[in-house]
Chains A and B, each alone.
Chain A
Amino acid sequence: MLGRTANGVFWMARYLERAENTARLLEAGFRMALTRDQSASHEEWRSVITTVGAAFDYEAVHGTEYSGDKVWNFLLRDKGNPGSVLAMIEGARTNARAVRTALTREVWEAVNESWMSLKDVLARPVREPMLGEVLAAIRRQMTLVRGAMEGTMLRNEIHNFTRIGTFIERADNTARILDVKYYVLLPSIAWVGSSLDNVQWESVLRSVAGERSYRWLNAGKMDPRGIAEFLILDQRFPRSLAFCIDKLRSNLFGLAHEYGHETSAHELLRGLGTRFHQSSIDSILEGGLHEFITLFVACNQQVAQAIEYDYRFYA
């Protein structure tokens, strides 16, 4: 396949994943803000913006006023936000269009229909009563695309590059959520037992669609160490860092198998995997969650760059 095509499916998948994750993050933030007083809810919205790394762009448009409707409209549809859900869907669709010949008809149509319907949904500012429905529509569309991929794509290099894009992006997103909320997961003595904790923790889980899974596994008992462990190390949870690394490995090694040789990306990923397997939640917390996450995000980024280079995405 063409290097440009690999690049196209890779970024299509990344944009779709990011659009979905942004919607989930907004959903958690929205729920959170409803349970807080105004100044605390502004703080919550600010952390949503920080998580997606859009503080600079946001403040260029709205200054430092972090009210709910400004934040969600900014993240959903603002022209001044290159990372808005709308821009992501458009980016995914543009990439899909450029690599149409690499996609099954069903995948292309699912992406194209998502773009058509969400473009409509996001054509006007989203008011509070509609927010829930809009976020649900975004998730639903992304689920349709994923279903079309799962059900129709040939399991070859094209599929591998698509999946690699998905998991690079997902790992990055989960890591960023952890990073912004790490103070919640590292409670000082004073916070323990306050009614806020449970809501905060649940919000973290909710933003990665993990609240129910976590409750099943822990019989409803919330504790920050357990949540951090779940999001970082639990290989059964599809949005955990460990899960993403595992999937990256199987897809990257699928490529090595098909091509008959490994590349520098394999090397890097192996290094990351080893470090991961040697970690326990205690050692991670001890060394500092923030430090761990920062390193992880950088390594993940390196793997992505190595893939782009090794497989001639651009040159």
Chain B
Amino acid sequence: MTHSPSSFDEMLTAEGTVRAAYSGYREWYDAQDPLALRRKGAEAEGFFRKTGITFNVYGDDAGEERLIPFDMVPRIVTAAEWRKLSRGIEQRVRALNAFLHDIYHRQEIVRAGRFPQRLIAQNEAFLPQMVGFVPPGGVYTHIVGIDLVRTGPDDFMVLEDNARTPSGVSYMLENRETMMAMFPELFTKVNVRPVQDYPRRLAKSLAACAPACAGERPVVAVLTPGIYNSAYFEHAFLADQMGAELVEGSDLRVVDGRVAMRTTRGYTPIDVLYRRVDDDFLDPLSFNPTSVLGVPGIMDIYRAGGITIANAPGTGIADDKAIYSFMPEIVEFYTGEKPLLANVPTWRCSEADSLAYVLDNLADLVVKEVHGSGGYGMLIGPTSSKKEIEAFAAKLRAKPDNYIAQPTLALSTVPIFTKAGLAPRHVDLRPFVLVSPQGTDITPGGLTRVALQKGSLVVNSSQGGGTKDSWVLED
């Protein structure tokens, strides 16, 4: 698909004048020597390689470490825009937690006829082990990433909720570090809200969710599947920045009613486990019995109040794209307010009318698996061949429950730096949200992902997307 002229560009108006958010940046940019900038770009790549900010790719090149391309032009959001966004995000996250509590308890939303029971009962991400249990502090989603897209000056929409284990926050932090190292003068010129204290806030937020048995200074650990996981760098980075231990399943076992890590002095109990391991692998006694990434018996300890698991097991159900389609109802049901952030219009293929419409319009739609993530297993109608569309239609007919469809959105663009100068590319934005009994904490900015190919709408790093530093301006 080619770049549609109707896309909203965040830097320039249709007439080519610079929007207010970018005026300070653009003034600086126009005074730069393009050659020097290009050199800086190469420097940045060297910096990422040297520090090992890489991600691993699954599949053909298994084990190979790659860089996520970094673009030097920041994505800028004004203070006023951010205020509005944060209110919407806060409301949505509040609703998500209330929803999760409800579906694992009385399921009032189902009783009220506002949400179909089958989306819970037949959902693999729904964990019967969580029924009737309240996680410490009542928090389900300690860390949430809300994927936003923009289609116009005031039109931000939620594309996806990531309540399971949102990743990418290390790129948010390293992108800022890189920008400050490369262009310190830019940060004196433009007042950008800092993001650097995210790890400290994360540590504080997690500690605030410690179980009752924890001491004065709760012991926090990050559970990683290990160095071959695609996000290993991030796991190590966050543990390092928080001053927490980075543990693997083989380091942990249940000792005296607590989950404890094997240290050089013996076993030490853990109070809060920030796990970056999926539910299914968390406890071979409760879930996938072949898992070696988790801790046998951790679910029993969890249910007995001996440890906090972040995010709570069973939160992944909120990432389901069929459930996503109900988010407007969910927000309204639990907050009693109109949703401040809109959903992308979504057709549930499980409904006969919608399915018929989707099948008739496949060439114009984006179709996603309800449980899918990372841009895998989806159809982007406008860029697919006739054959691909037919093949997908067959899958869709065979298992309509498994899919939802959305219009192909004219995602907003932000320029990237190319050899030929600035060129617009489509972007999204993932702000990171921390939840604890003390409240909701949204880091100003987040991770901007950008489709580096001209006209492309796919921003996933696994599919050739890059990232940008994301600025929220001070008032």
Contacts and interface: CB of A to CB of B under 8 A. Distances in A.
A97 B232 CA distance: 9
Given A4-B248, A112-B50, A113-B50, A259 B265 contact: yes
B239 interface: yes
A101 B243 CA distance: 8
Contacts of A116: 49-50
Nearest to A160: B264
B338 interface: no
A98 B51 contact: no
B226 interface: yes
A293 B358 CA distance: 79
A5 B239 CA distance: 13
Nearest to A103: B240
Contacts of B247: 2
Interface secondary structure of B, over-half rule: mixed
B47 to A, nearest CB: 10
A2 B264 contact: yes
B266 interface: yes
Interface string A296-310: 000000000000000
Nearest to A311: B264
Given A101-B245, A157-B264, A4 B49 contact: no
Given A101-B236, A101-B245, A2 B262 contact: yes
A72 interface: no
Q: How many interface residues does chain A have, given as a range?
A: 20 to 34
A109 B51 CA distance: 6
Interface centre among B239, B246, B261, B264 (most CB of A within 10 A): B264
Interface in B231-262: 232, 236, 239-240, 245-248, 250-251, 261-262
B263 A2 contact: yes
B245 A3 contact: no
A2 B52 contact: no
B152 to A, nearest CB: 43
A2 B251 contact: yes
B50 A4 contact: no
A208 B369 CA distance: 62
Interface secondary structure of A, over-half rule: helix
Given A101-B246, A112-B50, A1 B263 contact: yes
Q: How many interface residues does chain B have, given as a range?
A: 20 to 34
A225 interface: no
B226 A312 contact: no
A313 B50 CA distance: 29
A149 interface: no
Interface in B19-61: 49-52
A1 B245 CA distance: 8
Contacts of A252: none
A97 B50 contact: no
Interface string A151-179: 00000010001000000000000000000
B80 interface: no
A4 B262 contact: yes
Contacts of A94: 227
A109 B246 CA distance: 19
Contacts of B227: 94, 97-98
A241 interface: no
A244 B254 CA distance: 39
Contacts of B265: 259
A161 B250 CA distance: 20
A106 to B, nearest CB: 11
A312 B50 CA distance: 32
A101 B199 CA distance: 14
A1 B264 contact: yes
A4 B250 contact: yes
Contact of A100 (B226, B236, B261): B236
Contacts of A161: 264
A108 interface: yes
A98 B248 CA distance: 10
A13 interface: no
Interface in A63-104: 94, 97-98, 100-101
Given A100-B236, A100-B240, A312-B262, A4 B251 contact: yes
Contacts of B49: 116
Contacts of B240: 100-101
B282 to A, nearest CB: 19
Nearest to A98: B227
Nearest to B221: A2
Interface in A1-45: 1-6
Contacts of A4: 248, 250-251, 262
A3 B263 contact: yes
A108 B52 contact: yes
A94 to B, nearest CB: 7
Contacts of A315: 262
Interface string B434-454: 000000000000000000000
Nearest to B222: A101
Interface in A267-315: 311-312, 315
Interface centre among B227, B239, B265 (most CB of A within 10 A): B265
A101 B82 CA distance: 34
A161 B264 CA distance: 10
Contacts of B50: 109, 112-113, 116
A138 to B, nearest CB: 19
Contacts of B51: 105, 108-109, 112
Nearest to A3: B262
Given A3-B251, A4-B250, A4-B251, A97 B262 contact: no
A312 B266 contact: yes
Contacts of A2: 245, 247, 251, 261-264
Q: Which 9 A-B pairs have the closest CB atoms?
A: A311-B264, A100-B236, A101-B240, A3-B262, A101-B246, A101-B239, A6-B264, A98-B227, A112-B52
Given A2-B261, A116-B50, A315-B262, 14 more contacts: A1-B264, A3-B251, A3-B262, A4-B262, A5-B245, A6-B264, A100-B52, A100-B240, A101-B236, A101-B239, A105-B51, A112-B50, A259-B264, A312-B264
Interface of A: 1-6, 94, 97-98, 100-101, 105, 108-109, 112-113, 116, 157, 161, 259, 311-312, 315
16 contacts: A1-B264, A2-B261, A2-B263, A3-B263, A4-B251, A4-B262, A94-B227, A97-B52, A97-B227, A98-B227, A100-B52, A101-B240, A109-B50, A116-B50, A312-B264, A315-B262
